Amino acid sequence: MTKFLISFPASAMDVPAEDMAAVSEASRAVIREAKAAGVYVFGGGINAGIGSRLVAPDGSSTSETYRQTREFDGGFCVLELPSRDVAVQWAARLATACRCAQELREFHYDPES
């Protein structure tokens, strides 16, 4: 089975404040279904209130980021699924629940993970 990252940036979720509770519940319902199906690995949302740290090989860190990840935010989940087609189906369910398109990426297989 392959692990897939399903994610979206915070800016993609253009939902009126009065609908946010319903969107949150709908997305949690899909995650509960993934857990019940035994395909859920982990997920969550990036805490935008806490800045990232860039950690060097020597252990020192700064509040910088890689340029291309400065706006890494939003929600994500990792599911372990039998095929990309099945991953697309789960991503579509999350897109419906979150009311925004989801980005789908496949993890490279690593026998140690």
State yes or no: pLDDT of 94 exceeds 90: yes
Quick check: pTM over 0.85?
yes
Q: What is the pLDDT of residue 66?
A: 86
* Total domains in the fold of the chain: 1
Q: Would 54 be classed as within a structural domain?
A: yes
Tokens describing residue 68: 């291309």
36-78 confidence digits (pLDDT tens): 999 999 999 988 888 888 999 999 999 988 887 777 888 999 9
Q: Per the domain annotation, does 111 fall within a domain?
A: no
* 3-state secondary structure (DSSP) of residue 104: strand
Do the Cβ atoms of 64 and 81 come closer than 8 Å? no
23, part of any domain: yes
Within 10 angstroms of residue 16's Cβ, the number of other Cβ atoms is 8
Residue 113 within a domain: no
Separation CA 111–CA 3 (nearest Å):
12
The parent domain of residue 87 ranges over 2-106
CATH of the domain at 27: 3.30.70.1060
Q: Is 50 among the domain residues? A: yes
* pLDDT attached to residue 113: 75
- Has residue 77 been placed in a domain? yes
Question: Considering the domain boundaries, does residue 58 fall inside one?
Answer: yes
